[in-house]
Structure 1
Amino acid sequence: MAKAVKKKKQNSFFKFIKWFWILIGFGILSGILFFLAASWEWFGELPTFETLENPQTNLATEVISADGKTLGKYYLDDNRTDVPYEELPQNLVDALVASEDIRFYDHSGIDARGTLRAFAYLGKRGGASTITQQLARQLFVGVRSRNKFETIKQKAKEWVIATQLERNYTKEEIIAMYLNIYDFGNNADGIKSASKIYFGKEPKDLKIEESAMLVGMLQNSSYFNPLRREEQTKNKRNIVLGQLARYDYISEKQRDSLQALKMDINFNPENHREGLATYFRMYLQGFMNDWIKENPKPALEGERDTWNIYLDGLKIYTTIDSRMQKNAEDAVIAHMSNLQAEFFNQNKPERNKTAPFLDLDKNQIDNIMKRAMKTSARWRSMKRMGKSEKEITDSFNEKTEMTVFDWNSDTKEKDTIMTPLDSIRYYKTFLRAAMMSMEPQTGHVKAWVGGLNYKHFQYDNVIQGARQAGSTFKPFVYAAAIDQLRLSPCSTLPDTQYCIEAEKHGNPEAWCPKNSDGKYSGRDMTLKYALANSVNTVTAQLIDKVGPKSVVSIVKNVGLTREIPEVPSIALGTPDFNVYEMVGAYGTFANQGVYVKPVMVTRIEDKNGTVLYEYVPETKDVLSKEVAYTMVDLMRGVVQSGSGGRLRHSYNKNATVYKEVITGYPYELTNPIAGKTGTTQNQSDGWFMGMVPNLVTGVWVGGEDRATHFKSITYGQGASMALPIWGLYMKANYANEELGVSDGNFEKPTKMGIELDCSKLNQEEDKPEDDLDDLDF
């Protein structure tokens, strides 16, 4: 009996062992079959070998400045720019490994120990996803399903893809790919965008605590968002710092001091309407669209054959210097905010009932408003919707909530309620500005400011707008006369009324220009004095001597290629040009008579660094070195004793109003400067073109409509409207010696047949009084 019982127990034990191993074997076999099923794509399609070799992610195109800074990006949904592993700081890599996958360097995609722990404790002591599995999910699997069966299938695919990724990539490449693909929120796709948006720096410059915060966001960037949940994000950051100490990446003392630090967020949103060089970036977008049309993409089978700046991760290397660009933008804002205050003051309802317009009747104003209404985005949008003209017009008179530009707000915006028609008139009260700065020897454009605020003023006055050049056109008349007649700055002409008879030079009627003050001195004056003081009668005599055709020929060769009538009146700057053209043209004088076409893009690369485009300079010999230097010498007179003299001298201490309007004045620039101011009829446009040996900068200021202008020359001249921006900009440039802006002399040709020193010819002239002291406030 006892033997039978013992034998029965032995049979039961062996049966238990047998079934135990059967179950174990079945489990192993099931696991193998489970993975095989996943690899056989029973649970869904897996990426091909080619896809694993080149995983497709949407990459933003990056705009890079001449000094290596990211000016901005072009993207649709993904603001992502890849960073190679070598540019990741070690503290970021350590934080990632310590927090997410401490055995990362020991496994082949799946952490067996972590997986068993997750099964044993049902995930209560941490999950089992490795960094490689998380990358697999981000690249190929997608958002985890809430359906348990679907979740299991997704997990199987993650495991299979993770092992494939480990066979195709190094550990370093996997870390870089994971950090580059993760969405950190707030348009921060990938570690480069996250570093820039949350801390205003490149990834390589991240501090330990900053890296810890970004790694903490990897768990859930929507929840651990420093802008919305600062305390929770800080706590998560401190957990990551604790992990770094636990695995001896940092000491406990370091951990304690770092955990005590406050969150130091430097939020820099990246979008198309904000940031540095917004107007330039919008111009560049058009440049790239044109380039794409002419340069098909060498696409693989099944891929599109055109480049896409929003998806293909191109790198555009530009000539813009981010430091000079910021100086330019700061100068425009500093001056225009104060100039606008005076403009508002002069256009109060009790002072100007037709504000912001002058010299117009009601019908003329109504016509301006109707044109503006019909060219607005609102009108075009409603027209596309099939609305009638009456319905659209009526909508412009319905009050609505809107956000408008406001100089007095820190954000330069305010919320208000007004009709769309009133908003059009409101925006017409603002003076506009444009500025471009270029290196004349290379044509490299260093700064480009198309307006006050791209979000609210999207018209780019650097290249879209063309306005009368005024007296800034006169140097081309003088250049033609000096080149053809061999005149010198010391040559004299009388300041008397001068008429060019009808039909001469194609003139339809007699032309008798007046000086700006309507007076004539009656005395002989040198060309240098006449240009410095914009004496119209002398300029008229010069164009009569050489003929308009000669002047037009020169300006065409220096990039002013639009239609210019060959009539004498062009001598006073009646043709329209934009800032881009004028800066390129003036560069010819600074570059010893050689015109170099302005260039903004030096190189374009694809995401792998393959060069797709490199610029070739476009140059043209226009003037001799002798004539070009003579023109520089003439324009130095503008700054030494003419309308540009305020760059040199101190302000009138009694003129407190003027000081408040022209911020940063005096500039007290003592280095050699050549320049020319320009003011058009009724003070509608103010210009200043300024040059030092290696930098030519043009500034324009005016209203959207020519009828929007100052009443008097006091504020309406180029020396008051535009010159101060140039002065502020250059003063900031000289404060940064790294920029290398020249403060030396212009290069003089070794042979000069033109006499520049009028004292050798025993000619003396009374210098004009500084116009600052005579301003009527």
Structure 2
Amino acid sequence: MLKLGKIEFISELAQMKKKTRKPSKRKRSIFKVLGIGVLCLFALFLIFVGSVNLGLWGKIPSKKELSSFQYQMASEVFTADSVLIGKYYLYDRQPITFNDFPEHLKHALIAIEDERFYEHNGIDIRSLIRVGFKTILLGDNSSGGGSTLTQQLAKNLYPRKERNKTNIIVDKIKEMIIAKRLEKIFTKDEILTNYLNTVSFGDNTFGIESAALKFFNSRTTDISAPQAATLVGMLKATYGYNPRVFPDKSLGRRNLVLRAMYNNNFISEEQVAQFSQEGLNLDYREFDYNAGIAPYFREEVRKEMLRWIKEQNENNTDYNIYTSGLKIYTTLNYKMQKLAEEVMVDHMSKLQNSFEKSYGKNAPWLKDKNLMQKIAKRTPSYKRLQESGLSHEQIIDSLSKDKKKRTFNSWEGDEEVTASTMDSIQHYTKFLNTGSLAVDPTNGDILVWIGGINFEQYKYDHISQSKRQVGSTFKPIVYTTAVEQGVSPCTYFSAEEIEYDNLKGWSPSNSGSKDEAYLNYSMEEGLSNSINTIAVKVLEKAGIGNVLEMAAAMGIEDKLPNEASIALGTGELKIIDLAQAYTSYANNGKHIKPNLIKSISNHKDSILVEFQSELSKKSAFSKETGQIMIEMMKSTINDGTASRLRTTYGLKNDIAGKTGTTQNNKDAWFVALTPKLVHITWVGLDQHEIGFSNTSIGQGANAALPLFGLWMKELNKDKDFYNYTKPNFPNPSSSVLESLNCDPVKRDGFFKRLFKNPNKKKSKKFNG
């Protein structure tokens, strides 16, 4: 029985072994199939990687191409005192060197983005496995992408074009291949440098230097550890962690970066606590083409640069203002410009208010529909509708009805309104505009340039583009010619009005009383009080031809009218050309061309070219004539039409100058001349059809002179400007003083007054 049981047990055991052998074979078969499948997939993957490497999915840059890549770099514009005021770019980027990166910046980047940066060879296998495990098996999408800084550099250099899943896989493999090549070409420090110079911080800002300037108004080398952590923190999501848009989220991300720096032994626990308590402390500064300081000047520099680049590229260079990273060092004085812009806003806002009140409800932009339609014809909107075949009436009707939300700018602030194009034309037509220029006559450096009141709204530059009648600011050139022709400064001229028979009865008049007809003025008094009738008589003595030659010799290249009205400034000139002429008075008759740019360097700060203005070779007038004219123009400041510089603004500087007001009060001018400054201001409306409502508001002494008076008053407070505010003109010679030593006014004798009728104009022939 027992033996039989034993035999049965052995038999059953054998049967069980037979049964277990069959599933074992099946499993081996499955594993075999799976293994072959995995091998096949791996082989296919290798083939796929190989095809990507061969460029079948798009070209991959070679080592040679990678070793010679160049950034597209923004060109920078600096003032004479080395303040960055603007950039020209397609991508806002300024590359810097590895030595410019503070240690805490490098530590922040490595701690949060690539802890094993100095250990891997471009691909971090451990990181890839971690990301794959968490993302695929655990479904944790917050685990990151596993890309190294080298891979991210590859993506920065060769951005992805497609966003579908297939292309993402291809792009990832491409970036790994490029990363491996980059690691063989560059050192780790060079890779870090290239990464920080190419990475995007959003808002069309590329590279750490541009980001530091934009968000903290600081160079990279000067940013603090918390600031570095803020910028590095943005890299995960440039919009989502933008400190300007989402300060709270940015602050949280910054503190996470600081914690990562601690975890990697870059900073201490105490530093984490200290830095985390700090606010973001943003000093946001966007280099907007339309905004910022000196926009009209920057635009003129851009035009000048394009001309220079065109000349250079004809000689086998390849400069580009938007991509070559040029550094443009200008003549502009930052503090002077800033003060001038502040003064402009203060004065123009008040003047605008007075201007509108003076017209009241009878303002031409409110009452004159024909004028508004005439102005509308000049707009792009009108011209587009005209090209489509609409009649004038249809166009005006369309421009009057197309009401939509618009932003109306004003000195009080921007206002959102629902308005038509005609409403917009009416609103902007009423605004006074200005041009203001300061030049150092000793070297031609342009120190201040204000081309208008608002560059975004009014692109037209009233310094380099606008030509306006210059009014009485041209009279000094007439008087200079007369003195140079031998007319004594003590020659007396009657203020009596004359009707010139051979000039179609033209009869220039004065703004004074009829009693002026009995008065005779010396040249100095006639100029300082800007008496029109005397200016024409001085022109007769000087000769129109001689005056035109003098103007050309003083640097005025534009053609001027060959007629008697030139004595009253009917010629149209640009501010910059008038400034060039006035530099002659500070340089013994030699003019100097105003200059915008001192030098241009490449992105490595190697100087490419330097610019220097030179005095004209020939003097337009003698030294003695120049001294006489300066003394005459000093009288304009001390006792004449510009005396409010002394009385209202309290200026004690040595100043000569001339006011100007054109016919119908359309243009207000003031020219100030010191040994170190030629300052010219113009105020008026862009639409020539509209002028000031009356002379008291529109005269140069009221509308234009304050822009200089207020500015000079501010300069006098700052010892940094003593070089410009303290100098005095050289003492005139004894012969010059003697030539000016006469009574300013002589009154007609009794019998001459008896037989002269001040209400009746004398007729004669103009002989000039």
Give the alignment's TM-score, normalised by structure 1. Answer: 0.83
What amino acid is aligned across from residue 230 of structure 2 in structure 1?
M
* Contact 1:62–1:70, Cα closer than 8 Å, also in 2: yes
- Could you tell me which residue of structure 1 aligns to residue 218 of structure 2? 201
* Contact 1:693–1:744, Cα closer than 8 Å, also in 2: no
Distance in 2 of aligned mates of 1:745 and 1:228: 50
Higher mean displacement: 669-678 or 599-608: 599-608
- Could you tell me which residue of structure 2 aligns to residue 659 of structure 1? none
Distance in 2 of aligned mates of 1:402 and 1:42: 52
* Contact 2:715–2:725, Cα closer than 8 Å, also in 1: no
The match for 1:537 among 530, 533, 538 is: 533
Distance in 1 of aligned mates of 2:575 and 2:311: 27
- Could you tell me which residue of structure 1 aligns to residue 556 of structure 2? 560
Distance in 1 of aligned mates of 2:133 and 2:474: 84
- Could you tell me which residue of structure 1 aligns to residue 157 of structure 2? 139
2:272 pairs with 1:255: yes
Distance in 2 of aligned mates of 1:163 and 1:738: 56
* Contact 2:356–2:363, Cα closer than 8 Å, also in 1: no
* Contact 2:627–2:736, Cα closer than 8 Å, also in 1: no
Task: State the Cα distance separating 1:46 from its structure 2 match.
Answer: 0.8
Pairs within 5 Å for 1:388-467: 391-409=394-412, 412-467=413-468
What amino acid is aligned across from residue 91 of structure 1 in structure 2?
H
Task: State the Cα distance separating 1:337 from its structure 2 match.
Answer: 0.4
Cα deviation, 1:354-377, whole Å, max 9, x if unaligned, reads: 4348xxxx8xx4553333212102
In the superposition, relative to structure 1, how do residues 65 and 19 fare at CA in structure 2: closer, same or farther (>3 Å)?
Answer: farther
The match for 1:594 among 590, 593, 599 is: 590
- Could you tell me which residue of structure 2 aligns to residue 527 of structure 1? 523
* Contact 2:63–2:182, Cα closer than 8 Å, also in 1: no
In the superposition, relative to structure 1, how do residues 175 and 756 fare at CA in structure 2: closer, same or farther (>3 Å)?
Answer: farther
Q: SS where residue 485 of structure 2 aligns?
A: helix
The match for 1:286 among 300, 303, 307 is: 303
Distance in 1 of aligned mates of 2:449 and 2:41: 68
Higher mean displacement: 693-702 or 391-400: 391-400
Cα deviation, 1:411-435, whole Å, max 9, x if unaligned, reads: x321112221232122111111111
Task: State the Cα distance separating 1:136 from its structure 2 match.
Answer: 0.6
Higher mean displacement: 412-421 or 721-730: 412-421
Cα deviation, 1:658-677, whole Å, max 9, x if unaligned, reads: xxxxxxxxx32222122211
The match for 1:355 among 350, 357, 364 is: 364
Distance in 1 of aligned mates of 2:722 and 2:243: 40
- Could you tell me which residue of structure 1 aligns to residue 611 of structure 2? 615
2:182 pairs with 1:188: no
Cα deviation, 1:281-315, whole Å, max 9, x if unaligned, reads: 3333433444454443677xxxxx97553444444
Task: State the Cα distance separating 1:75 from its structure 2 match.
Answer: 3.5
- Could you tell me which residue of structure 2 aligns to residue 549 of structure 1? 545
Task: State the Cα distance separating 1:217 from its structure 2 match.
Answer: 0.5
- Could you tell me which residue of structure 2 aligns to residue 100 of structure 1? 113
Distance in 2 of aligned mates of 1:568 and 1:670: 37
Task: State the Cα distance separating 1:134 from its structure 2 match.
Answer: 0.7
Cα deviation, 1:249-297, whole Å, max 9, x if unaligned, reads: 3332232222122233333333322222222233334334444544436
Percentage of identical aligned residues: 31
In the superposition, relative to structure 1, how do residues 397 and 43 fare at CA in structure 2: closer, same or farther (>3 Å)?
Answer: closer
Distance in 1 of aligned mates of 2:299 and 2:394: 33
Q: SS where residue 437 of structure 1 aligns?
A: strand
Distance in 1 of aligned mates of 2:191 and 2:622: 60
* Contact 1:733–1:741, Cα closer than 8 Å, also in 2: no
- Could you tell me which residue of structure 1 aligns to residue 755 of structure 2? none
- Could you tell me which residue of structure 2 aligns to residue 327 of structure 1? 339
Distance in 1 of aligned mates of 2:408 and 2:388: 28
- In structure 1, runs of 5+ residues without a counterpart are 300-304, 652-666, 767-777
- Could you tell me which residue of structure 2 aligns to residue 236 of structure 1? 253
2:89 pairs with 1:75: yes
Distance in 2 of aligned mates of 1:594 and 1:90: 55
Task: State the Cα distance separating 1:238 from its structure 2 match.
Answer: 0.9
In the superposition, relative to structure 1, how do residues 318 and 746 fare at CA in structure 2: closer, same or farther (>3 Å)?
Answer: same
2:65 pairs with 1:51: yes
Task: State the Cα distance separating 1:531 from its structure 2 match.
Answer: 2.1
* Contact 1:224–1:236, Cα closer than 8 Å, also in 2: yes
Distance in 2 of aligned mates of 1:22 and 1:595: 90
Distance in 2 of aligned mates of 1:323 and 1:105: 46
* Contact 2:402–2:420, Cα closer than 8 Å, also in 1: yes
Q: SS where residue 287 of structure 2 aligns?
A: coil
Distance in 2 of aligned mates of 1:108 and 1:552: 76
Task: State the Cα distance separating 1:440 from its structure 2 match.
Answer: 1.1
Q: SS where residue 297 of structure 2 aligns?
A: helix
Task: State the Cα distance separating 1:468 from its structure 2 match.
Answer: 1.6
Task: State the Cα distance separating 1:243 from its structure 2 match.
Answer: 2.3
The match for 2:124 among 84, 96, 111 is: 111
In the superposition, relative to structure 1, how do residues 646 and 416 fare at CA in structure 2: closer, same or farther (>3 Å)?
Answer: same
Distance in 2 of aligned mates of 1:298 and 1:166: 37
- Could you tell me which residue of structure 2 aligns to residue 655 of structure 1? none
What amino acid is aligned across from residue 736 of structure 2 in structure 1?
E
- Could you tell me which residue of structure 2 aligns to residue 663 of structure 1? none
Distance in 2 of aligned mates of 1:27 and 1:756: 103
Task: State the Cα distance separating 1:473 from its structure 2 match.
Answer: 0.9
* Contact 1:492–1:524, Cα closer than 8 Å, also in 2: no
Cα deviation, 1:114-168, whole Å, max 9, x if unaligned, reads: 4454455559665532222111111125268451x54333222212212322333
Distance in 2 of aligned mates of 1:420 and 1:19: 76
- Could you tell me which residue of structure 1 aligns to residue 576 of structure 2? 580
Higher mean displacement: 322-331 or 465-474: 322-331
Task: State the Cα distance separating 1:338 from its structure 2 match.
Answer: 0.6
Cα deviation, 1:573-598, whole Å, max 9, x if unaligned, reads: 12122212112221221233221111
Cα deviation, 1:722-776, whole Å, max 9, x if unaligned, reads: 1111122223334443355422234427x836423689x475779xxxxxxxxxx
Distance in 2 of aligned mates of 1:757 and 1:728: 35
Task: State the Cα distance separating 1:693 from its structure 2 match.
Answer: 1.9
What amino acid is aligned across from residue 708 of structure 1 in structure 2?
I
Structure whose residues are more often helix by fraction? 2
Distance in 2 of aligned mates of 1:669 and 1:524: 30
* Contact 1:593–1:625, Cα closer than 8 Å, also in 2: yes
Distance in 2 of aligned mates of 1:383 and 1:317: 45
Task: State the Cα distance separating 1:608 from its structure 2 match.
Answer: 5.6
In the superposition, relative to structure 1, how do residues 519 and 81 fare at CA in structure 2: closer, same or farther (>3 Å)?
Answer: farther
Distance in 1 of aligned mates of 2:290 and 2:709: 27
Task: State the Cα distance separating 1:31 from its structure 2 match.
Answer: 8.9
What amino acid is aligned across from residue 393 of structure 1 in structure 2?
I
CA root-mean-square deviation: 3.7
In the superposition, relative to structure 1, how do residues 370 and 690 fare at CA in structure 2: closer, same or farther (>3 Å)?
Answer: same
Distance in 2 of aligned mates of 1:212 and 1:517: 74
Distance in 2 of aligned mates of 1:311 and 1:139: 15
- Could you tell me which residue of structure 1 aligns to residue 762 of structure 2? none
The match for 1:375 among 366, 373, 378 is: 378
Give the alignment's TM-score, normalised by structure 2. Answer: 0.84
In the superposition, relative to structure 1, how do residues 141 and 715 fare at CA in structure 2: closer, same or farther (>3 Å)?
Answer: closer
* Contact 1:498–1:540, Cα closer than 8 Å, also in 2: no
**Alignment: residue pair count:** 718
Task: State the Cα distance separating 1:408 from its structure 2 match.
Answer: 4.8
- In structure 2, runs of 5+ residues without a counterpart are 1-9, 11-16, 747-768
Distance in 1 of aligned mates of 2:135 and 2:506: 98
Distance in 2 of aligned mates of 1:110 and 1:438: 59
In the superposition, relative to structure 1, how do residues 510 and 371 fare at CA in structure 2: closer, same or farther (>3 Å)?
Answer: closer
* Contact 1:136–1:158, Cα closer than 8 Å, also in 2: yes
What amino acid is aligned across from residue 330 of structure 2 in structure 1?
T
**Larger Cα-atom Rg:** 2
Pairs within 5 Å for 1:484-499: 484-485=485-486, 487-488=488-489, 491-497=490-496, 499=498
* Contact 1:274–1:455, Cα closer than 8 Å, also in 2: yes
- Could you tell me which residue of structure 1 aligns to residue 733 of structure 2? 752
* Contact 1:486–1:754, Cα closer than 8 Å, also in 2: no
In the superposition, relative to structure 1, how do residues 384 and 764 fare at CA in structure 2: closer, same or farther (>3 Å)?
Answer: closer
In the superposition, relative to structure 1, how do residues 379 and 168 fare at CA in structure 2: closer, same or farther (>3 Å)?
Answer: farther
The match for 2:707 among 716, 725, 736 is: 725
- Could you tell me which residue of structure 2 aligns to residue 773 of structure 1? none
In the superposition, relative to structure 1, how do residues 144 and 398 fare at CA in structure 2: closer, same or farther (>3 Å)?
Answer: closer
In the superposition, relative to structure 1, how do residues 370 and 443 fare at CA in structure 2: closer, same or farther (>3 Å)?
Answer: same
Cα deviation, 1:590-617, whole Å, max 9, x if unaligned, reads: 2332211112233344556566654353
Distance in 2 of aligned mates of 1:592 and 1:402: 57
